[in-house]
Amino acid sequence: MIIATLCGMGFGTSMMLKLFIDDILKAENIKAETTPWDLGSFKGNKADIVVAPVDMEPHLRDYPAKIVLVKNLVDKGEIKEKILRAIDELSHAEGGKTI
């Protein structure tokens, strides 16, 4: 499973999300590859789950993956709840729904 973390420019937000998600995956004993990307570099790459700030939603509408939009980028509880739900849903069904 590939999880992409995105930010608009640079890698600050996407790297922070990656580190949070890596900690969650380790604690839950879930094996997945987490890759940080900026939006421009991400186009054309593939991921099973995409985690991004809410304001990036318009750029991800047609992307064929499970989309996780985060409102508060420093709320580890929100990120954990949403990423675990996305992993669970992905393991049970296919589709590119927004969480």
pLDDT at 98: 47
- Could you read off the pLDDT of 11-50 as tens digits, one per residue? 788 999 999 999 999 999 999 999 999 888 887 889 999 9
Radius of gyration of the chain (CA): 12
Residue 57 included in any domain: yes
Identify residue 6 by its one-letter amino acid code.
Answer: L
Residue 22 included in any domain: yes
Residue 6 included in any domain: yes
Residue 98 included in any domain: no
Domain count, the chain: 1
pLDDT at 92 over 80: no
DSSP classification of residue 97: -
- Could you read off the pLDDT of 54-65 as tens digits, one per residue? 999 998 888 889
Q: Residue 16's domain spans which residues?
A: 2-92
DSSP helix/strand/coil, 44? coil
pLDDT at 40: 83
Q: Kindly state the greatest CA–CA separation across the chain.
A: 34
- Within the chain, strands assigned E span 2-7, 33-38, 49-53, 66-70
Residue 97 included in any domain: no
